[in-house]
Structure 1
Amino acid sequence: MTIHVSPDAHPALVLNADYRPLSYYPLSLWSWQDAVKAVFLDRVNIVSEYDFQVRSPRFEMRLPSVVSLKHYIKPSRNPAFTRFNVFLRDRFQCQYCGSPDDLTFDHLVPRSRGGQTTWDNVVTACSPCNLRKGNKACQDIGMWPTQPPFEPTVHDLHNNGRQFPPNYLHESWLDYLYWDAELEP
C-alpha cells in the first residue's frame, strides 16, 4: 500500500518539537499553503526549504519543506481501535495467507459465538480466507493467524508505518524520517 505524494505540490514534512515526525503512516505532511499559514501564525519553525518561492506584490518567501512545531504534542499512548490501525498493526497482510489484496477483518472467536470486536480478537484477513473461515473458531477449522492479535502501542504502529513509505520523499525529509533506524555496517 502506497500513499501518493505529488512533488509538484511542495508538501512540508511536519515534525513535533522534538524533531520526530508526528506520524509515519500516513506521513505527517501539510500542504504548502498550510505550512506558510503556520509560519505566519508563529506556530512552527522552518527547518528546511525548497528551491521554490511564492510571491505577492509585497512579499516573497521560499516554501518550507520541513517544519517543526514550536510546542510539543504528546503522542497518544493507546492508538484508536480502527480498521486502518488493525490493518497497519498486521502490516496490510492477511494473517492467514499473507495476501495484501481485498482486505477485511476477521473475528478469531466469531461474533455469533460471543466474540468481541477488540484488539485481542480481530485480525486482518483477505475476503477468500474470511469466507473460508466463516463463523468457525480457529481450532474448528485449523486456520491460525501468523501472529496472535494484540493491542499495539503507538510505537508499534510507527514501526510498521515505516515499512510503507510514500511514493515520493524529498531529500530534505530523509534525515528526519530515518534518524533512529539501525545503520548498516
Structure 2
Amino acid sequence: MADGSTINFPALVLNADFRPLSYFPLSLWSWQDTIKAVCLDRVSVLSEYDAEVHSPHQTFRLPSVIALKDYVPSARKPAFTRFNVFLRDNFSCQYCGDQLPTQDLTFDHVIPRCKGGRTTWENVVTACGICNLRKGPHLPHSINMLPRQRPVRPTSWQLQDNGRAFPPNYLHESWRDYLYWDTELES
C-alpha cells in the first residue's frame, strides 16, 4: 500500500506500563513513525490493522496499538496553560456549570488582577463569556459568584484522569481495551 490510503492508520501509543502516554490529547503516532519505531526495536506491537505496507524487501502489517519498551515518566507538574485549566475544570464554567466547547470558554481570575490577583493555578478558573463579563472586576463573595470548585494546581494524573472523560472522535476497536480498562463491562 504505497498510496495515501495509509493516512488513516494511527497507532495508539502506550507507555511501558501499558497505559496511554496521554489521554487528552490521545497519544497517537502516524503509521510512518510507528513502523520506524518497530524497525528500531523501541516498541512492542500489541495489535495490528489488517492493512499492510511494503518495502522492496519486506511487508509490514500496520500496528494499531504499540507499547514503548522503556518507561517514560510523566511530568510531575503540568504546564500552566489555558487548555490545562479547561481540562482541570472539565471544560465547564466554574460559575454556572455549563460544559462548553473550548472556543466558547475563557478563564477568569477569581481575585481580579486589578485587585492584586495573580495568574496562577490557584486563582484562575474556567468561565463562559457571560459569567466572565458578569463577574468582571468584582471579588466573588461581593457579588455571590463563588467558583463551584476551589482552583488548585492539578497533578498530571488528575489531568489525565479528566481527559479520559473526553474520548476522541475516532477510536479504533483495538484501542478500547487499553483506554478504558477500569470501566464496567457490559453483561
Q: TM-score, normalised by structure 1?
A: 0.91
Residue 179 of structure 1 corresponds to: 181
SS of match in other structure, 1:150: coil
The corresponding residue for 1:146 is 148
Distance 1:144 1:183 in 2: 38
Relative to structure 1, is the Cα distance of residues 114 and 26 closer, same or farther in structure 2, using a 3 angstrom cutoff?
A: same
SS of equivalent to 1:139: helix
Task: Please report how far the alpha carbon of residue 77 of structure 1 lies from its aligned counterpart in structure 2 after TM superposition.
Answer: 1.6
Ranges in structure 2 where 5+ consecutive residues have no aligned partner: 1-5
Partner of 2:25: 26
Residue 45 (structure 1) aligned with residue 44 (structure 2)? yes
Report the Cα distance in structure 2 between the residues aligned to 1:148 and 1:165, rounded to whole angstroms: 26
The one-letter code sitting in structure 2 at the alignment partner of 1:63 is: L
CA distance in 2, matches of 1:49, 1:162: 23
Structure-1 residue corresponding to 2:3: none
Q: Which amino acid aligns with 1:30?
A: W
TM-superposed CA distance for 1:108, in Å, is 0.4
Q: Following the alignment from structure 1 to structure 2, what is the Cα–Cα distance between the partners of residues 17 and 57?
A: 31
Give the deviation of 1:127 after TM superposition.
1.2
> Of 98, 106, 115, which residue of structure 1 is paired with 2:117?
115
Q: CA deviation at 1:113?
A: 0.7
- What is the correspondence of 1:70-109 to structure 2 with a 5 Å cutoff? 70-99=69-98, 100-101=100-101, 102-109=104-111
**Deviation for aligned residue 1:183:** 5.2
Runs of 5+ consecutive residues of structure 1 not aligned to the other structure? 1-6
Does the 8 A contact of 2:135 with 2:143 survive in 1? yes
Do the aligned partners of 2:7 and 2:31 also contact (CA within 8 Å) in 1?
no
Where relative contact order (Cα < 8 A, 6+ residues apart) is larger, the structure is: 1
- Report how many residues are paired: 179
TM-aligned CA distance change 1:66 to 1:110, over 3 Å: same
CA displacement at 1:182 relative to structure 2: 5.1
In the other structure, the counterpart of 1:15 is 14
Q: 1:122 to 1:184 in 2, by over 3 A?
A: farther
TM-score for both structures, normalised by structure 2: 0.90
RMSD over equivalenced CA pairs, Å: 1.6
Structure 1: distance between partners of 2:23 and 2:134: 34
How far apart, in 1, do the equivalents of 2:186 and 2:31 lie?
A: 34
How much does 1:8 deviate?
A: 6.0
1:155 equivalent in alignment to 2:154: no
**Cα offset, 1:53, TM superposition:** 0.4
Flag as ranges the 4+ runs of structure 1 deviating above 2 A: 180-185
